[in-house]
Structures are given as structure tokens and as C-alpha cells.
């Protein structure tokens, strides 16, 4: 959410940013919210004046009564009553207009960083850098479900019976592999100095609207019927929500946190809730990293975060690349975003396995996350998040890049301590 002062003083900048994001239908909202803000401030002034009038006249009543001027006192009491009625009406209007302004402010997109490439959609995202050499083996690489089934590692048929498409049973070595990857990711981030968390897996609606846009919420979140609770789509939601309505001493920044959670997503409109596949699913697990920091430090942390993911994947012998999201592909709260994509030997292309986002002070404004300097000055923090690893999607890249011709799977050195072996053997 933007600072109202920015929209009030520089509406053309806000409109130009909307055009860069190819959301011209929102241009009229800028003028609308400026006009509402003007009326809102006028109402606030009138409310303050009415309160002062009521206070002054209320004092007069005591003085008149002390002098025995009861009729005059009663007359002033009547005036105070009328002022009170008027004030109640104006306060109700003030609250109503404040809500209307906030509703509009929540859908006006954040100001993107100057370095963000301009483009309409993800087809215009820009490759930044590659890490590791993409490799295609001499033998055919099977579809990831076929690899897992040969290892007795997945049961999709049973999951369809219990839950429908978009769910799975992992079992045996593949289930162990996923757990070990998550354990390794946890320790990898702890070694980077991040504090490990297991957060709540459900959050209230005020946290949901604080961490994401309405469009994202509608397409992602599962609501708990009869409760003001939503299942999280990523632990970023509850981890940033942890700081709601807090004032953080500046000396305590940056807050560097890493969290494990299951994630639940409706994936409304997604083309790919497959009957045979785990690329796009309703339920998965993830290790996340979150940073709350000073504004001047957020871009440095942005690079550190996505490079953590790059380094993690490279320790597992998976080639990756970084891809910068263009303006039209950025969610409304984001200032800048980079996806980390892993190499698929089967498809001979890269696919997304993680996303790093700098949200500036957008989430902090929505949630009331402020920082207090030693001198007592307060300002809004910057928040960032990034995926360390999110199996089972990551398993696709792992299995394809560590597949042997006989169907067995190499276990990279970094993971051998957790798996207690250097290979997963074929079961059938």
C-alpha cells in the first residue's frame, strides 16, 4: 500500500507506474482517491472543530450553574446536544470515507524499482544469469512420475480417491528424500545466520489482506468455513504477520528468519492440476526465508536472498538460472522480483522452483510494522521473502538431474549425511 502523501503530492508518478504495469483500468482510481482524501481531511477538520465547540460550551454550563443561571445553562446544554448529534453523524461519515480510501489504496500497485524491465507478462521476463552447465544425458529421461513409480515412491491413484486431483502420497525413499531435502534446507539457512521457525499454518483475514493483494488471495487461499481463518499458501504469510502492529527498535534490524510449513493453494484458473504429476498441486511443503530490514538495506538483502537459493541448488548438482520478472508479471505489492529456475534435462528447458521478492514498505504499511530509531523517529520497515526450496516441485529437478541410466538416483554429497546413503536403488 502506497503512502497517501505520495498520491496526494505526485499523482502523475503513481499513474505512470500503473501504466508500466499495464493496468490502465486502475488509472481513474488515483483521481478518485485524491478527491476522497480531500473530503476526508475536510471532515476530520470539521470533527475537530465540533469537539472543540462541545468542550468549550460544556465548560460554560458549569460556570452558569455556579452563578445560578439555570435557564442559560439549559440553553447551552441543548446546543451541546445538537453539536453531539452533528459530531456523531460526521464521525460516522469519517469512518466510512476512511474505509473507502483504504479499499482503493489496497488495489493501487506499489511503485516498482527503476531497474525492473517493462513488459506485459511472464513471456517478457529477462534472464539474468546461469549457474552450472545444463546437461542432457545420452539416455532418455522419463517423466518425473514414472521415475518415482519405478522407485516405489509415489501413489497418485490412492490420493485421487481420498482427495482428488492435485494431491499425492509420497512413500519410501522418495518420501525420505523430500524430508531430508527440507532438513538440509533448514540447516543450510541456520548456517547462514537465520533463525528457524515453525509458524501457525492458519492466519486471520486481516493478516491475509496485509501480506497479499485481493487478486492473489482469491486465487490462492482456502478459507476455513465458519472461522476467520485461512490456510496459508506459504509461511511468508504468517511470518510477516508475526510483526503486525509492532514497533521494532532499529538496533534489532535486520530480522532474518527461515521457516518451514506445509502450503495450501486453490490454484484457481491454473492449467496444470494434473492427474499424473506434482508440478502444480494443492498441497506441498516449503522452506522459506524472510527479512525485515531498513529501507536502505533492502536491495542488498534482495540479492543475498535469491543467491542463497542458487547456492543451495548448486550443492545438489542442479543447474539453475535467475529470471527477473517484468513489470506486468509483478504482483501489486512487489517492488522487484526474481525467479530461480532449475534445469530440466527431460524438457531441455528451465522451470520455476522459487521466487524472491522485495515488497518495499507495502506489507509494513498494511500491517503497521514500524521501526523506531534511537532518537524516537518512526518509519515503516521493508520486507522481503524468498523460497529456499519447495518440494515436491523441486524433486522433479533433483530426480532428473541426478538420474542414472538404470533408473537409480545419485545422492549428492551435501545430502548423504541426511539420507545415510549415496544412491536410491530401483525397486522394480
pLDDT digits (tens, 9 = 90+) for 4-43: 999 999 999 999 999 999 999 999 999 999 999 999 999 9
Mind listing the pLDDT tens digit for each residue in 333-392?
999 999 999 999 999 999 999 999 999 999 999 999 999 999 999 999 999 999 999 998
Based on the fold, state whether residues 231 and 146 are members of the same structural domain. yes
pLDDT category of residue 268 using cuts at 50, 70 and 90: low
Is residue 272 predicted with pLDDT exceeding 70? no
pLDDT category of residue 68 using cuts at 50, 70 and 90: confident
Based on the fold, state whether residues 324 and 249 are members of the same structural domain. yes
pLDDT score, position 273: 55
Contact between 336 and 302 under an 8 Å Cβ cutoff? The reply is yes
Q: Which of 74, 105, 136 is the last residue of a domain?
A: 105
Based on the fold, state whether residues 138 and 43 are members of the same structural domain. no
Number of domains in the chain: 2
pLDDT category of residue 74 using cuts at 50, 70 and 90: confident
Flag whether 22 is in a domain. yes
Based on the fold, state whether residues 235 and 135 are members of the same structural domain. yes
Based on the fold, state whether residues 295 and 401 are members of the same structural domain. yes
Flag whether 111 is in a domain. no
Q: Which residue pairs, CB below 8 angstroms and at least 24 apart, start in 37-40?
A: 37/4, 37/7, 37/8, 37/101, 39/97, 40/94, 40/97, 40/98, 40/101
Global pTM reads 0.90
Is residue 323 predicted with pLDDT exceeding 70? yes
pLDDT score, position 286: 96
State the pairing for strand pair 255-264/378-380: unpaired
pLDDT score, position 279: 87
Share of the chain above pLDDT 90, in %: 86
Read off the C-alpha cell for 408.
Answer: 537409480
Read off the C-alpha cell for 39.
Answer: 473530503
Mean pLDDT in residue range 284-304: 97
Based on the fold, state whether residues 132 and 92 are members of the same structural domain. no
Read off the C-alpha cell for 86.
Answer: 452533528
> Would you say how long the chain is, in residues?
428
Based on the fold, state whether residues 94 and 135 are members of the same structural domain. no
pLDDT score, position 103: 92
Flag whether 321 is in a domain. yes
Q: Which residues pair with 259 in a beta bridge?
A: 197, 288
Q: Using CA atoms, how far apart are residues 129 and 170, in angstroms rounded to an integer?
A: 33
pLDDT score, position 428: 61
Q: Which CATH number goes with the domain that contains 351?
A: 3.30.930.10
Based on the fold, state whether residues 290 and 325 are members of the same structural domain. yes
Flag whether 59 is in a domain. yes
Nearest Cα to Cα of residue 190 among 255, 237, 261, 257: 257
Mean pLDDT in residue range 293-306: 98
Flag whether 110 is in a domain. no
Based on the fold, state whether residues 293 and 335 are members of the same structural domain. yes
pLDDT score, position 64: 81
pLDDT score, position 109: 95
**Where is mean pLDDT largest: 52-61, 180-189, 391-400?**
180-189
Contact between 292 and 383 under an 8 Å Cβ cutoff? The reply is yes
Flag whether 239 is in a domain. yes
Share of the chain above pLDDT 70, in %: 97
Range of the domain at 336: 122-424
Is residue 278 predicted with pLDDT exceeding 90? no
pLDDT, mean over the chain: 94
Based on the fold, state whether residues 407 and 289 are members of the same structural domain. yes
pLDDT score, position 275: 59
pLDDT score, position 60: 86
pLDDT category of residue 161 using cuts at 50, 70 and 90: very high
Flag whether 113 is in a domain. no
Based on the fold, state whether residues 128 and 98 are members of the same structural domain. no
Q: Which residues pair with 249 in a beta bridge?
A: 372
Q: Which of 63, 80, 105 is the last residue of a domain?
A: 105
Flag whether 117 is in a domain. no
Based on the fold, state whether residues 347 and 308 are members of the same structural domain. yes
Q: Which CATH number goes with the domain that contains 16?
A: 1.10.287.40
Mean pLDDT in residue range 44-48: 94
Amino acid at each position: 500500500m502506497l503512502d497517501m502523501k505520495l498520491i496526494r503530492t505526485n499523482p502523475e508518478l503513481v499513474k505512470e507506474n500503473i501504466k508500466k504495469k499495464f493496468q490502465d483500468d486502475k488509472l481513474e482510481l488515483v483521481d478518485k482517491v485524491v478527491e476522497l482524501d480531500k473530503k476526508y481531511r475536510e471532515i476530520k477538520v470539521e470533527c475537530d472543530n465540533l469537539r472543540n465547540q462541545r468542550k468549550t460550551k460544556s465548560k460554560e454550563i458549569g460556570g452558569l450553574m455556579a452563578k445560578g443561571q439555570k435557564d442559560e445553562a439549559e440553553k447551552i446544554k441543548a446546543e451541546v446536544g445538537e453539536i453531539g448529534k452533528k459530531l456523531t453523524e460526521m464521525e460516522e461519515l469519517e469512518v466510512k470515507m476512511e474505509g473507502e480510501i483504504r479499499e482503493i489504496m489496497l488495489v493501487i500497485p506499489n511503485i516498482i524499482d527503476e531497474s525492473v524491465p517493462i513488459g506485459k507478462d511472464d513471456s517478457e521476463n529477462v534472464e539474468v544469469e546461469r549457474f552450472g552447465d545444463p546437461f542432457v544425458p545420452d539416455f532418455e529421461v522419463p517423466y518425473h512420475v514414472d521415475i518415482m513409480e519405478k522407485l516405489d515412491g509415489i501413489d497418485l491413484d490412492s490420493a485421487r480417491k481420498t482427495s482428488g486431483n492435485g494431491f499425492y502420497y509420497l512413500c519410501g525413499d522418495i518420501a525420505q528424500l523430500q524430508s531430508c531435502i527440507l532438513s538440509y534446507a533448514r540447516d543450510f539457512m541456520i548456517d547462514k545466520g537465520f533463525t528457524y521457525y515453525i509458524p501457525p499454518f492458519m492466519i486471520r483475514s486481516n493478516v491475509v489482506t496485509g501480506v497479499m493483494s485481493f487478486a492473489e488471495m482469491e486465487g490462492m487461499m482456502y478459507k476455513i468455513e465458519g472461522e476467520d481463518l485461512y490456510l496459508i499458501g506459504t509461511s511468508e504469510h504468517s511470518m510477516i504477520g508475526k510483526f503486525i502492529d509492532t514497533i521494532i527498535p532499529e538496533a534489532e534490524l535486520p530480522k532474518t528468519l527461515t521457516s518451514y510449513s506445509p502450503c495450501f493453494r486453490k490454484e484457481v484458473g491454473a492449467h496444470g492440476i494434473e492427474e499424473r504429476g506434482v508440478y502444480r498441486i494443492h498441497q506441498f511443503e516449503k522452506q522459506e526465508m524472510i527479512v525485515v530490514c531498513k529501507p536502505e538495506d533492502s536491495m542488498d538483502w534482495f540479492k543475498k536472498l535469491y543467491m542463497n537459493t542458487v547456492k543451495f541448488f548448486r550443492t545438489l548438482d542442479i543447474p539453475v538460472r535467475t529470471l527477473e520478472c517484468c513489470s506486468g508479471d509483478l504482483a501489486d505489492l512487489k517492488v522487484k522480483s526474481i525467479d530461480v529456475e532449475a534445469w530440466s534435462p527431460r524438457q531441455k528447458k528451465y522451470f520455476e522452483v522459487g521466487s524472491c521478492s522485495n515488497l518495499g514498505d507495502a506489507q509494513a504499511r498494511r500491517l503497521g510494522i514500524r521501526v523506531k530509531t534511537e532518537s524516537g523517529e518512526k518509519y515503516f520497515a521493508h520486507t522481503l521473502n524468498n523460497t529456499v526450496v519447495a518440494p515436491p516441485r523441486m524433486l522433479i529437478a533433483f530426480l532428473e538431474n541426478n538420474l542414472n541410466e538404470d533408473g537409480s538416483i545419485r545422492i549428492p554429497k551435501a545430502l548423504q549425511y541426511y539420507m545415510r546413503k549415496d544412491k536410491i536403488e530401483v525397486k522394480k
